[in-house]
Structure 1
Amino acid sequence: MTSSIIGIKDLKLPIQISGISGEIQHSVAKVGMQAVSPKKKTPNLDEIIGKSMQDFHIDFQVKNYAGLLTSLQEEIEAENIKLILKFPYFMEKKAPATGARSLMEYHCRLDGETSSDKSLKLCVQVPITTLCPCSRELSKAGAHNQRAEVTLCVKYKDVIRPEELIALVESSASCGLYALLKRPDEKFVTEYAYHNPMFVEDVVRMAAVKAADRPDITWFSAEAESFESIHNHNAYALVESDRL
């Protein structure tokens, strides 16, 4: 008896990523792959993947990723190939008041398979701030706020960059996060969040509205978890396009 699906998980490989302005960013990806009914017996998957991705630039274009999938499928002689890349992506941000520059890290995931509808799924994990509308309404001075994390996943058929999804999420939050803030910046983000109170369900609803308005997105899910500052539990919300 032979396995109908073989694969590999968390193979670390150096990668090159094309940013939205064309700049090249070097990163390290954890690569996972599943091969359905491969004809070759016990193929050396790590060697095949490493060779195929040696000169591959991740530019988030469906046609180029599809080419990589096809080459892997032909090499392994499989009915279907699913490839998953998980990698950190760094984006320069300016502090809102002083303009101080810093790099923010965002965790991304890119999924594709040969048997799909010729689309890719890109997920970005975006840290944000949420400020409780109820606390703001009840309190005479201040309101509890906390760091939260939004995971936005989209399927698309041409090209979408992480920067676009990050901007979409941050514009749906009470405030975005920054790696470096000076005192004037701390004042700005504190007051900005106070004037933009959001529950986690508000965040995912707003992100969903913005994602639904984009014709290049064919499916999406928005998931948020708020690491509550005054409760001994977290708040959670999820919206998916096929449930709307």
Structure 2
Amino acid sequence: MEDVQAKADKRKIAINKVGIKGIRHPVRISDRSGERQHTVANFNMYVGLPHHLKGTHMSRFIEILNQQEWEITIQSFKKMLQEMTYYLQADSGYIEMDFPYFIAKQAPVSKIKSLMDYQVTFIGEANQNKQQVVIKIIVPVTSLCPCSKKISDYGAHNQRSHITVTARVKGFIWIEDIIDLVEEEASCEIYSLLKRPDEKYVTEQAYDNPKFVEDMVRDIAARLNPDDRILAYRVESENFESIHNHSAYAIIEQDKQLHVN
């Protein structure tokens, strides 16, 4: 049968990204405990299209996802990116994989266990035989306002916050390593299930550890700076204010390789 997509295009205009968006596919994720999580990821998969080609072969993206059961690590994600660009004969490629990741957490006092979910994204880019993978993790935490605590006779307002760390990494790093780092620098971490003694603990823990949105991004950046596994990062904090009809926001971006002597 005639392959229309493989025909020449006379307009001489290259396309930066063409492919499929919003396809869900089951994957297995290795976690730090040695177990494998089965989850469903949302994929966006694109390649660059040269100016002389009319179109790309959309079905081949699906074939790549279905050709084997992918157990996702940074290394296997790079392999998927490499296979996609090779199979579609493209000079550049891009894969974004977004999935929920679950960690069993113990409540601080009762020690009762429950699953806490985090949103994780792997973003891979290939260009001229160079590959790069970025990990993005959204970590919900509690923040308590230092100003509110200082000026009030009793109590202080707190809020749920989303800390988003986007990191370009070297070698291997566990998803849990980044989550642990973020939670340790919040006023208090969040749990799915708490009994009354646990509620007392987290309330007092946040009160004893007040932090502005600026404090949280700076404290996390101070932890990321000396970590040799992190080549570049962006850390964002959005506090969903409990006494305002807006969010407080801060961001720090750092490419550590630009500062290497």
TM-score by length of 2: 0.87
CA distance in 1, matches of 2:143, 2:203: 11
The Cα shift of 1:72 comes to 1.1
Q: Could you say what secondary structure the match of 1:114 adopts? A: strand
CA distance in 2, matches of 1:189, 1:162: 24
Given the alignment, which residue of 159, 166, 177 partners 1:153? 166
Aligned to 1:214: 227
The Cα shift of 1:57 comes to 0.5
CA distance in 2, matches of 1:73, 1:236: 37
Q: Could you say what secondary structure the match of 1:215 adopts? A: coil
- Residues 46, 93 of structure 2: 8 Å contact kept: yes
Aligned to 2:242: 229
The Cα shift of 1:6 comes to 1.0
Given the alignment, which residue of 61, 66, 85 partners 1:73? 85
- Residues 92, 103 of structure 1: 8 Å contact kept: yes
CA distance in 2, matches of 1:238, 1:172: 15
The Cα shift of 1:203 comes to 0.5
- Residues 8, 45 of structure 1: 8 Å contact kept: no
Which residue type is aligned with residue 121 of structure 1?
V
Aligned to 1:23: 35
Aligned to 1:106: 118
User: Within 5 A, what are the aligned runs for 1:110-189?
Assistant: 110-115=122-127, 118-189=131-202
Gap regions ≥5 residues in structure 1: none
CA distance in 1, matches of 2:61, 2:87: 12
Aligned to 2:4: none
The Cα shift of 1:3 comes to 5.5
The Cα shift of 1:119 comes to 3.5
Aligned to 2:215: 202
Moved more, 64-73 or 31-40: 31-40
Q: Does 1:50 align with 2:51?
A: no
The root-mean-square deviation of aligned C-alpha atoms, in Å, is 1.9
CA distance in 1, matches of 2:209, 2:130: 39
- Residues 118, 157 of structure 1: 8 Å contact kept: no
Aligned to 2:105: 93
Q: Could you say what secondary structure the match of 1:42 adopts? A: coil
- Residues 119, 157 of structure 1: 8 Å contact kept: no
Which residue type is aligned with residue 207 of structure 2?
Y
CA distance in 2, matches of 1:156, 1:65: 13
Which residue type is aligned with residue 22 of structure 1?
G
- Bigger-Rg structure (1/2): 2
Which residue type is aligned with residue 202 of structure 1?
D
CA distance in 2, matches of 1:232, 1:114: 42
Q: Could you say what secondary structure the match of 1:119 adopts? A: strand
Which residue type is aligned with residue 91 of structure 1?
I
Aligned residue pair count: 241
- Residues 7, 45 of structure 1: 8 Å contact kept: no
- Residues 166, 235 of structure 2: 8 Å contact kept: yes
The Cα shift of 1:215 comes to 0.6
Aligned to 2:6: none
- Residues 156, 218 of structure 1: 8 Å contact kept: yes
The Cα shift of 1:109 comes to 0.4
Gap regions ≥5 residues in structure 2: 1-10
